[in-house]
Amino acid sequence: MFPKTRNLETAFQHVRLFTIVVVGGSLLLCGFVVWQALRAIARNQDRIYILESGKALEAMAGSRQENIPVEARDHIRSFHLDFFTLDPDEKVITGNLGKALYLADGSARRVYEGLKEGGYYNGVIAGNISQQLTIDSIALDLRVYPIPFRCYAVERIIRPTSVVTRNLVTEGVLRNVGRSDNDPHGFLIERWAIVDNHDLKIESR
Segment 156-167 mean pLDDT: 90
When pLDDT is cut at 50, 70 and 90, the band that residue 167 belongs to is very high
pLDDT for position 46: 58
Please write the tens of the pLDDT for every residue from 75-92: 999 999 999 998 888 888
pLDDT at 81: 92
The answer to whether the beta carbons of residues 80 and 151 sit under 8 Å apart is yes
With a CB cutoff of 8 Å and minimum separation 6, the contacts of 200 are 154, 165, 166, 167
The overall pTM is greater than 0.75: no
pLDDT number for residue 56: 56
Q: In sequence order, what are the residues at sequence separation of 6 or more whose Cβ sits closer than 8 angstroms to the Cβ of residue 112?
A: 83, 97, 101
User: What whole-number percentage of the chain has pLDDT above 90?
Assistant: 19
Report the pLDDT averaged over residues 164-173: 92
d(CA 150, CA 192): 10
Amino acid at residue number 23: V
- Cβ burial of 88 (10 Å; 0-12, 13-18, 19+) is middle
What φ, ψ does residue 84 adopt, rounded to 5°? -105, -10
- Reported confidence tier of residue 191, pLDDT bands at 50, 70, 90: very high
Report how far residue 157's alpha carbon sits from residue 166's, in angstroms, rounded to the nearest whole number: 8
Query: What is the pLDDT, as a whole number, of residue 202?
Result: 87
Task: Give the 3-state secondary structure of residue 136.
Answer: strand
**Sequential DSSP letters for 48-83:** EEEEETTEEEEEPP--HHHHHHHHHHHHHHHHHHHH
Residue 24's pLDDT band, with cuts at 50, 70 and 90, is confident
Burial class (CB in 10 A: 0-12, 13-18, 19+), 154: middle
Q: Share the mean pLDDT of the chain.
A: 83
Q: How many whole angstroms separate alpha carbon 122 and alpha carbon 143?
A: 42
d(CA 101, CA 108): 7
